[in-house]
Amino acid sequence: MKAADKPLRRAPAKGSKPRELKQERAVRTREQVLSAAATAFAERGFPAVTMLDVAELTGMTKGAVYFHYANKEALAVAVAEEFYQRLPLITEKVRKAGLPPVQAVAELLHRTAAAFRDDTIIQAGARLQIESSLIDATLPRPFDGFTESITELLGEAKEAGELPASCNPEVLGRVLVAAFFGMQHISWRLNNRADLTTRVEEIIEAALPQIKKPAHEAS
Ligand code: LUB
């Protein structure tokens, strides 16, 4: 029978697990592989990691890893894509909190810093972006999404009269993203991210001086 004539679904062999269970397990396995790859990329960088390293981290065979991802480049792309799934979720959560816009920008920066400190996918995604010239695949375009989220909130802040008339939300958005990007990189290299959330407070205070500090912190 020609390949095109093959039925799409085969009846499960006697004694085999129902399709849904197998699919759930496959999804879980794929997530485990992605998470192991993120750990390896975050800690050692794309060039140093092999598919065998990823397999060993998961306790699976190399074949099992290759079943889910064709090569190391595919893993890098998948980790980077997951990074850009997670960043907007932070914005979504902050928006749901319904804070005044300037406060929301501060909260977004703060939570993003905590995510860079705690989330391996995010750490790996950021590292892969700076290593992108060493990766023979197209990664998602960096910075645009985050810049847009911040600029949008700053635009709302301006409309609400929370920012000085001279403040251009697009310019301040770019400045904040550049500052954040540099800050998280420096914190990683110099302090293994231990000071990430304190350093982000400095950015917030310097760039958004109109934010009222809690009374006990005001000097
Ligand atoms: C974020 C990185 C690292 C920006 O693409 C991106 O949005 C980002 C990629 O290099 O940090 C967060 C300010």
Q: Whose CA is nearest to atom 11 of ligand 1?
A: 181
Is the beta carbon of 183 within 6 A of some atom in ligand 1? no
pLDDT value of position 219? 47
In a domain, residue 1? The reply is no
In terms of residue numbers, what domain contains 107? 16-207
Using 70 as the pLDDT threshold, list the residues of the chain that sit under it. 1-16, 212-219
In a domain, residue 23? The reply is yes
For ligand 1, the distance from its centroid to the CA atom of residue 112, given in whole angstroms, is 10
In a domain, residue 9? The reply is no
> Which residues have C-beta within 8 Å of that of residue 87, sequence separation ≥ 6?
112, 115, 122, 145, 146, 149
Q: How far is CA 139 from CA 10, 27, 47, 162, 182, in A?
A: 36, 22, 15, 36, 20
Number of domains in the chain: 1
Q: How far apart are the first and last CA of the chain?
A: 81
In a domain, residue 105? The reply is yes
pLDDT digits (tens, 9 = 90+) for 84-128: 999 999 999 999 999 999 999 999 999 999 999 999 999 999 999
In a domain, residue 200? The reply is yes
Is the beta carbon of 181 within 6 A of some atom in ligand 1? yes
Print burial letters for 18-45: b (CB count within 10 Å at least 16), e (below 16).
eeeeeeeeeeebeebbbbbbbbbbbeee
In a domain, residue 133? The reply is yes
Counting from 1 in the atom list of ligand 1, the atom nearest the Cα of 130 is 10
Comparing CA positions, the residue from 114, 132, 143, 141 lying closest to residue 41 is 132
In a domain, residue 8? The reply is no
pLDDT value of position 17? 75
Token pair 């550049």: residue: 178
In a domain, residue 3? The reply is no
pLDDT value of position 210? 83
Report the alpha-carbon distance of residue 55 to residue 61 in Å, rounded: 6
Burial of 155 (0-12, 13-18, 19+ CB in 10 A): middle
Q: What is the CATH number of the domain that holds 50?
A: 1.10.357.10
pLDDT value of position 21? 84
